Each structure stands twice: as C-alpha cells, then as structure tokens.
Chain A
C-alpha cells in the first residue's frame, strides 16, 4: 500500500457496515417481539421482504455493471427491507412484501443512484406505494395471537396465510387509529370509541393489532435510545418528531377532548415510535445539521398529527416523512452552521482591539 495520501493517517473504527449493523441490532427486540406476538406469518413476511430486497438489489446492481458484493455488504438494502417488513400488516400476503421490497431498493434507491442519493426514504416510499395501490391488504389487521397460545396459527397454517392469502377466521381486527377514524365517521366520539380499544399499558408493550414491528413502543424506544448512546443518531429529529405530535395533540385535546385524542394516544399508536427513532433519523433523506434535523423531525411530527386528525388515512407517518423528505434540501440550504471567525451570514467577524 504505497499510495500517497493526505492526512489523517488514522481512522475511527467505524464503517457503513457497522452503522447499519447497529441499527439492525436496535431493531431486533421490537422485531422479535412482533414475531412472538403475531407468530409464524410475521416471520415469513420478514424473510420474504429481506430475500426480495437482496435479490432485487443484486440484480439491478449487476445490470449497472457494478460490483454486487460491496453494495450488499453495506447492509443498507437489508435495513430498508427490514424497516418495510416491520411496517406491514403481519398477515399480509407474500407478494405485498416482494413488491414493496423491490420498489424500495430499485425505485426508491437504485434508480436515484444508489446509496446516499435517494430523495425519499425508500421504506416509506414503498409503504405509501403499497397503501395507495393495495388498501385492502395494507389495512387488514389481526389481533395478537402469540406463539404458543391456542389461537396462534401453526407453521403450516402460516405458509397458507402468507403464500396463499388464506384468511384466518375470527382473527381480523382493527388498528386503534383505523377504528377511531371509522367511529368518527359514524358520529361516535372518543369517549365511546376508545372503550375496549385503548389500554395504555397494552399499547406501551405492544400487545395490540398493528404492523408487524410497530406496536411495541417501549422496545422501539429502547432501540432508539441505544442508537443515541452509540452515537449513530442524535436526539434532535426523534425528540422533535414526538414533540411535533404532542404539542398539537395537547392543544386540541384541551379544546375538544371528545374529538381530539390526547398525546399518549398519539405517542403509543401507529408507526410513530418506529418513525421517530428509525425513519426520520435516516441520514440520507434528512438534513445535515442538528437544527435542521430538529426542524425536519418537528415537521414530520406535526404533519403526522394533521394527517391522523383530518386526513383520509388513519395513519400519517409515512406520508409526513415523504413530504418532509422533499423539504430536507431546502432546510439544508437555509440552516447551516456558523463558520469560525464569521457571523451567521458568512461575513468575517470585525477586528477588535483591546490593547
């Protein structure tokens, strides 16, 4: 290695692979919980998503005559597929996972130029595509049937659920956000809509109908804090996103408590925790600076709340993130750190004599 190069002649022991690996590690508890909660169909769906992403990405990278190994080894495609998988309904059919994963890594990422070049968060772009194209499959939720319990589908049944799209009787359920939205259309207020659906402790642990790995708020929170401690992410975007939901929720809940749910309801439902710690912290599609990330996260939070409250869809995290993705470059344009020896506008500081 006699290549002449500039300093530094030392490097911190980090690589893209270790960054992605740490994020995957942080996702593992919530994912394993999802596997346990929804059983074998969830495992199938997760595996199909990952395989589709790996095969799909390898294929398009080959098409571009680029080396496949380094692209797959950086782990970013796996992370994207993993994030998508845990945001899907656990009993969704296999082709939902395949379509979503392929869309995420091919259209969402490689078409833009590969790692680091995409404008939109690939997992969220795929989720939005699926939600718009296949609303039925994407909103068919099931009540928890933990592995080992009587209602849990056997492994053979799970294959039929995932690969033959055979519905299982008596397991269909509604997500909290979906249920409340439906009740509102019937003119039922929160005081009745929440009965039997909203148990904060269950919500916290995740024992409810919802996406594969989005329900366990506490486990996602722990994973997120782990990433902050490991300095993979900073607190700015996640905290701001939660704040962006809590502030309007508090405000409107105080105005009309029967129509606008309180902050806990919002914090613990849907994909907010996953979004706050694993989606808005996506480095590629978020701003560069701490303040920029705060603004970005806050925007995601407020938009999520707006879409949940007044939008046509019960959940808004994916839409909010995509909208804010388009704003990220604008935030970067205007929010820059102050340079040493210059004021905020970039003008050199005045020379002052104190002699």
Chain B
C-alpha cells in the first residue's frame, strides 16, 4: 500500500529492547486501589457507592456525568474504604477525588453478560455497551470511545484506522498486546468497523515491531482488516500524523477526524471493546510498560486501574539507581510525577524511571535560529518564532504563528541544540490563553449580570415612580372630588 510522507518528525532512540521480549504478566492483586474519578476527557464520574459497601469485580462504582464522560467499575472485589481525595497522576501532585477500594483478595467477578454472536447486535447497541463498559481511548488521549463511535456513525466513516504505531520510545505495551492477543484485537476491530459501518479498515504498525506485525497479519487473514507496515518515526502514532501517512488526508484545523470520514482508535482500545462486547467485561485493567534506565527489570504488566505505581516498580525489582525523573507515559509526551503512590489510570501506558543520562537535560542556551525545530515539526510550525514571542509575553503573535495548531509532540524540544524547553513555553502559553479566555468569559458574564441588575433597578425605580404618580393623581382626584362634593353640599 502506498504510504504518504510525514512532515518533519524525529528519530529518538527507541529503547524498546529494554522490555520488548518481556511477555505480559499480571501484577499480583494490590491491597488498596485508588480509583480516580477523572480518568477520561470530560466530566468526572460520580460515585454510586458508599463507604463500607462491599463491591464485586466489575461492579459500577461511579457513573458517567453529562454528555462527555465515562463510568468507572470496581477493578477487584472488596470494600469501599473511602470516598475522598488522592494524589493525581499529574505533575502538580495535587489531590483529586478518588474511590479507595480495599481488596478482599477474592477477586470475585460480578455476573457478566456474555454475547455469543456480537455481530447480531445493532451498531447502536454496541456503542451503548462500549459506553457502559467505561472504555476510553487507551492510546493516551482517554476520550470516551462510545462518543467517538456515535459521532462517526452519524457522519459516516470511510476509513477506520487502528493505531498500532506506538512511536513513543520505551513503550512496548501495544507491541505486546498485539503479539499476544491479536485474535481478540482483530475481533474488536471488526466490531468497531461494524459499529460505524467503516468501508475500509487499516491497522498501522511501525516496522520496529515485526512480531506484532506477523501476529496481527495471521489473525487478520480471514477478514477485511488490512495490516499496514509504517516506517518507525516519531510522532507516527499521533492521530493527525497516522491519518496523514495512511490516507494522505489532513484533518481541517480545529476539526475532527470525522470531518474527513476517518475514525482512529488504538489497538488496545479494540481489545477492551472485544472484552466488553463478547464477555461483558468493563474496562478495569490495562497493559502498561514499566521501564527506564533506573528500573531493575523492565517489563510489561497487566495492571488494575487504581494500582499505585510504587507497586509496579516494586514488583519489577525496584530501582538500580535513584531515578532522576519519574514519568507516566512515554518520554516524549508523558507527564512527570513525584509521588509514587499515584494510581494507574485508564490512560497510563507506561511508568518510566529515567536516569539523568537518559533525560539529557542541560541548561538552556540562547537560540541560534538553526531552525532544526522547524525541520522537526510535523505540523509545519516555527517553534523558534513562537517561543521568542512567548518569552516576550506576546501571546497573540505566538497564536498568529500557529500556537493553537501545536500538538505538543515534543519533536522540537527533543532536537533543539540549545536545549530550549520549547514545549514548556507552548504549554505555558496555551494555559495562559485558556486562563485569559476564562477570565474574559467571566468578565462578560459579570457584565451581563451587572447590566441586568442595573436594568432591573431602573425598572423598579421607574415602576415605583409611576405608581407614586398614579397614587398622587388618584389622591388629587379624590381631593378634587371631595372638594367639589363639599362645595356642592355648601351650595345645597
């Protein structure tokens, strides 16, 4: 199949060999799970259990709230120990609402509803079941999967792209789920394709995963699912870029893949869909790679959502040396974290403990305008110009240079010889712009309220004046009438 060019991009050192030959192992049942209520894009889920309640594995413990949200299920059986805050898997280390589940060690499933012929279900039913199973995009974006299915079914899907790129260094979780569970993934892909009536199904896999490619090709033999081998390059696994490479199409700025008749899902999401539809199992676990130069035995683990990452690290044998930086996800777009009791969430693809040599961070020096960042940008931006505007607090100019089109892939920062933290600048600016936007909205709302109040006060004043005038007129009329009557009686 003809592939299209990816603009820019970089070739970071893969480091996948650390964990690439480690089959998926299940992490032993942890004692306590901290299940965050915000594991997806959208509104946080709302707890439907109370403290002290006994729950079974797979039981709904928090329901979706609003249009964009996802429900959350108990990852194992046990007792709800607390409904309160726990440290968030976020660089800030702030607390977020979470459900604390004390495991009873029995890991007893709730009664699940298996389906013998999932293709007999209606597409609407499949989307509904995917939604009820709490499935979100497992590639990292964690957008509720059912919403994407419904959106795409309504607008029509020409091409369903399954993302098996896994272009982030270190991570091998998608690699291994494709190697070991290809049959389930292909069925999940066919279910998604059926749910949105996709005309064409492409699975893009980078050529650095030959075993996964072979396994997926063997599993897809009898189906219309086409396995496409893509060159290894970062950010091949980014939604916009994989669409561009496989179809040559671009998502219009500010739009969605559905605008060009494309739907993109991660291969691990397809596995979750298959489990949910065929076995009625909600999304309560995922595969995560534990790796990095400071990890004794890098490996791929199947972990329950809510497991503190320190348990993952301890299970792999701990550190060989103090980690210079801990990262959730891959090194290119992952998030730094400081507390090892942060829980695994649905979007946690990796837990990395990196050495300072691996990070390669140095003090930034002045920009020499070498434009290596321009050549690396897969979007066609001028990172050096945007950063210099942001440094000068000229965010409007940075936006004019395309700040809002930045996908924060980190290619520019990665190659910058001056070690300038470009993505840091961009995220700062995006955050500041969002804050400004909110402040503006708030100001407008306040102004609207103030205007309404002024108008109301003026109306009340006016009405009171009118009423007073009326009363005065009535009184005068009465007095006049009385006077007239008096005069009349006097005359009489």
Contacts and interface: CB of A to CB of B under 8 A. Distances in A.
B251 A337 contact: no
B397 to A, nearest CB: 12
Contacts of B156: 353, 355
B334 A351 contact: no
Instruction: Bin the interface of chain B by size.
Output: 35 or more
B467 to A, nearest CB: 56
Contacts of B202: none
A21 to B, nearest CB: 11
A114 B12 CA distance: 31
A284 B384 CA distance: 12
A354 to B, nearest CB: 5
B240 interface: yes
Nearest to B409: A8
B335 A340 contact: no
Contacts of A115: 365-366, 368
A15 B329 CA distance: 26
B415 A12 contact: yes
Interface in A71-121: 74, 76, 114-117
Given A11-B414, A114-B366, A342 B405 contact: yes
B423 A7 contact: yes
Contacts of B334: 7, 9
Interface stretch (B60-68, B141-149, B373-381): B373-381
Interface string B338-382: 100000000000001010101111110111111110110111111
Interface string B1-39: 000000100101100000000000000000000000000
Given A6-B424, A115-B365, A337-B381, A12 B250 contact: no
Given A284-B368, A288-B371, A350-B252, A12 B10 contact: yes
A254 B255 CA distance: 55
B336 interface: yes
Contacts of A1: 324-325, 356, 361
A16 B155 contact: no
Contacts of B252: 341-342, 348-351
Interface string A315-344: 000000000000000001000111111100
A10 B359 contact: yes
A18 B372 CA distance: 14
B196 to A, nearest CB: 10
A11 B370 contact: no
B318 interface: no
A355 B159 CA distance: 10
Interface string B118-135: 000000000000000000
B365 A8 contact: no
B81 interface: no
A182 B254 CA distance: 64
Contact of A16 (B157, B354, B417): B417
B421 interface: yes
B94 to A, nearest CB: 12
Given A10-B359, A339-B381, A354-B158, A5 B366 contact: no
Nearest to B400: A346
Contacts of B253: 339-342, 348-349
B96 to A, nearest CB: 17
A14 interface: yes
B396 to A, nearest CB: 14
A245 B421 CA distance: 40
Given A1-B356, A288-B369, A340 B12 contact: no
A106 to B, nearest CB: 17
A336 B377 CA distance: 13
A4 interface: yes
A185 interface: no
B232 to A, nearest CB: 15
Given A11-B359, A15-B362, A4 B91 contact: yes
B288 to A, nearest CB: 17
A340 B9 CA distance: 13
Contacts of B259: 351-353
B410 interface: yes
A13 B424 CA distance: 19
A222 interface: no
Contact of A9 (B92, B336, B375): B336
A14 B415 contact: yes
Contact of A5 (B240, B336, B370, B381): B336
A200 interface: no
B374 A351 contact: no
Given A15-B417, A340-B240, A116 B410 contact: no
Given A337-B377, A340-B250, A346-B402, 10 more contacts: A1-B361, A7-B336, A10-B13, A12-B12, A76-B368, A284-B368, A288-B384, A339-B253, A352-B259, A353-B156
21 contacts: A1-B324, A6-B91, A7-B327, A7-B334, A9-B331, A9-B334, A9-B336, A10-B359, A10-B360, A11-B414, A14-B417, A116-B367, A289-B374, A338-B380, A340-B251, A341-B405, A349-B253, A351-B252, A352-B260, A353-B259, A354-B260
